[in-house]
Chain A
Amino acid sequence: MSEILVLVEQVDGEVKKVTLELLTLARSLGTPSAVWAGPGFGADAKAKLAEYGAEKIYVAGSADVVDHVVAPKAELLAQLVGSAAPAAVLVAATAEGKEVAGRLAVKTDSGVITDAVGVGEGFVADQSIFGGGVNVHSRVTKGTPIIAVRPNSTAPAPAPAAGAEEEVSVALSDAAKASKIVERVKQEKGARPELTEAAIVVSGGRGVGSAENFSIIEGLADVLGAAVGASRAATDAGWYPHQFQVGQTGKTVSPQLYIAAGISGAIQHRAGMQTAKTIVAINKDPEAPIFELADFGVVGDLHQIVPQLADEVSKRK
């Protein structure tokens, strides 16, 4: 079977769920090889990648690969496309993943598909466009298909494989080192699941009213084991950090369940959550556009409803 490269997403040496999804998807298309970029590769990561079907793991452990913006990862993948001649390359459709895919496409003279929500036979990708209004099948027609796949598109399932490690050294060009990352500023993340990966997301908007009141949203998220999201109105007001913004210019999420509290449902917000499987809205305005999307909606004051819902969820657990 033909080789499929999967670029690993990791935090502090721990493999992210989206990578396990991509490996699972890659198994249906060929033989997955994981590609690790940067330092921090260890026994746990190796075991995890092998458990989910990585036949090979290419490890480029040099810090240079992650200390410059995007370009080195594209150069690493381009080198592997040259040496391994894979049938396709899969990356996570995060903002950075898509940028890697873009540069790789130029380098390898290949087509790129972004924001796939599935990939089938012949590397035909499913895309959901125009805010979920149109479903498209698309495919790359030149070069090696490079496909950026959205998190939560596939349910990860283990299928152990060899996980044979192979060291890779990349000779980075000067152009790839043009943008140097001089500092990484980490803002509080907490113990909640990551926004784009979570099965359940509870988001708050302007209706939450203040930074303190976001504890109501967090309270519901915690009893559900959910991630917390926010509308732009809430992040702009400084009530919640920007990296939790859901929408056009924030994160795109496709959870099983999305709960929107005090969010009107502006088109830019919908662009980031419309593909959630089930949507629940809580809003005091019965005319709020978010109700057009909701599978279940409650018209009323979120300050009453959300804590009551959280209580009821803990009672039923």
Chain B
Amino acid sequence: MNIVVCVKQVPDTATERKLRSDDKTLDRDAADGVVNELDEYAVEEALKLKEAHGGEVTVLTMGPGKATETIRKALAMGADKAVHLSDDALHGSDALSTSYAMAQTLKKIGFDLVILGSESTDARTGVLAAMLAERLGAAQLTLANKVDVEGSSISIQRLTDYGYDKVEATLPAVVSVVEKINEPRYPSFKGIMAAKKKPVETLSVGDASIDAAQVGLGAAWSEVVDFAAAPPRAAGTIVKDEGDGGVKAAEFLASKKFI
């Protein structure tokens, strides 16, 4: 099975994240880049499926040059190779252009199964997997906390408000995972060393047959009009429980008319 797992580099949530004042896009230099947490779960699931069914796991990352750090991490976990879609023309792409660029790349490199995280920690749009399924005409199997493959049949448990749905489809498919699905492995020392030698193919927009007029800030289907730092939350009142903590909390709720 040919599995492609989409891994995004995002700013570390532990550092202060900002938008750039010049073009209102994410300030990627202001914070350390890390693997989007959920994408480690996506990689883990890809590796498990490979271990069970054979095949190959390819990492796909769209992002600037420094995203190679992220790619190495995924390779160190055990992925076989990577494709890095990297081109200045892609800077400022919105969800529409990102999904277009990634779909073009996926068509070029081929796949039976594409696995993503269900959401990134920076933009958090949660739309990419659905958009890829739409663009690729592949089955959408998203928000999965369990994936089973048998031959060309695939089924998942899709998390819902009331519990979960059992969903069935035939490959090719686009899966997105939630963090309940597995426990990502840590890269071993051996894995880290091996990752340095694994092939990473860097593709430009042209290499992946992406129409440059459909990507980047200029082509975006949406725009940031303006932005501002949110006013800091006023410091709250913190009391130590002296046996009357519940009563004090009730007084606070009453003062705010909740009771």
Binding site for B on A (CB under 8 A): 11, 69-71, 74, 94-96, 98-103, 105-107, 109-115, 124, 128-143, 175, 178-187, 189, 194, 196, 200, 224, 232, 235-236, 241-243, 248-249, 256-257, 267-268, 271, 278-280, 282, 286, 291, 293-301, 304-313, 316-317
Judge whether A294 and B236 touch: CB under 8 Å: yes
The chain B residue with its CB closest to the CB of A189 is B162
A80-B253 Cα distance, complex, nearest whole Å: 46
Q: Which residues of B contact A179 (CB under 8 A)?
A: 139-141, 167-169, 173
B250: which of A133, A278, A312 is its contact (CB, 8 Å)? A312
Judging by beta carbons under 8 Å apart, are B241 and A301 in contact?
Answer: yes
Q: A308-B246, A309-B249 are in contact. Are A137 and B226 (CB under 8 A)?
A: yes
Contact A297 B236 (CB under 8 A): yes
Q: Is the CB of A70 within 8 A of B163?
A: no
State whether the Cβ of B166 lies closer than 8 Å to any Cβ in chain A: yes
A and B contact pairs by CB, cutoff 8 A, 17 listed: A102-B126, A103-B140, A112-B125, A112-B222, A128-B230, A132-B230, A137-B224, A137-B226, A178-B139, A179-B140, A224-B258, A248-B121, A257-B256, A267-B13, A297-B237, A308-B246, A312-B246
Q: Judging by beta carbons under 8 Å apart, are A181 and B227 in contact?
A: no
**CA of A132 to CA of B231 in the docked complex: distance in angstroms?**
10
Kindly provide the distance from the CB of B137 to the nearest chain A CB, expressed in whole angstroms: 5
Whether B161 lies near A135 (C-beta < 8 A) is no
Question: Contacts A141-B221, A294-B236 given: A243-B159 contact, CB under 8 Å?
Answer: yes
Q: CB distance A133 to B230 under 8 Å?
A: yes
| B interface majority secondary structure | mixed
Cβ A107 vs Cβ B134 within 8 A: yes
**Contacts known (A103-B134, A133-B229); A296 close to B222, Cβ less than 8 A:** no
Instruction: Annotate B230-259 by CB proximity to A: 1 below 8 A, 0 otherwise.
Output: 100110111111011111111011101011
**Least Cβ–Cβ distance between A266 and chain B, in angstroms:** 10
Shortest Cβ gap from A293 to chain B (Å): 6
CB within 8 Å for A69 and B142 given contacts A102-B95, A111-B96? yes
Distance between Cα atoms of A308 and B249 in the complex (Å): 9
Shortest distance between the CB of A73 and any CB in chain B (Å): 11
- Contact pattern, B 92-135, Cβ under 8 Å of A = 1, otherwise 0: 00111001000000000000000000110111111111110111
A224-B258, A307-B246 known; A137+B130 contact, CB < 8 A: no
Inter-subunit contact B246/A186 (CB<8 Å):
no
Answer whether residue B195 sits at the interface, using C-beta atoms and an 8 A cutoff. no
| Most interface-central of A95, A103, A301, A307 (chain B CB within 10 A) | A95
Q: Chain A interface secondary structure, helix, strand, loop or mixed?
A: mixed
Decide: A248 near B236, CB < 8 A? Known: A114-B126, A141-B221.
Answer: no
Smallest Cβ distance from B44 to chain A, in angstroms? 15
Once the chains bind, are B95 and A297 in contact (CB under 8 Å)?
no
Q: Are A141 and B241 in contact (CB under 8 A)?
A: no
Q: Say yes or no: A105 contacts B221, CB within 8 Å.
A: yes
How far apart sit A107 and B137, CA to CA, in the bound complex (Å)?
12
Q: Across the interface, which residues of B come within 8 angstroms of A130, CB to CB?
A: 17-18, 122
Q: Does B8 touch A at the CB level, under 8 Å?
A: no
Q: Confirm or deny: B19 has a beta carbon within 8 angstroms of a beta carbon on chain A.
A: yes
Separation of A47 and B184 alpha carbons in the complex (Å) = 49
Q: Note all chain B residues with C-beta closer than 8 A to A98.
A: 125-127, 130
Counting CB contacts under 8 A, is B145 at the interface? yes
**Given that A181-B167, A297-B238 are known contacts, is A71 also in contact with B179, CB under 8 Å in the complex?**
no
A39 to chain B, nearest CB (A): 16
Q: Which of A110, A138, A313 contacts B223 (CB 8 A)?
A: A138
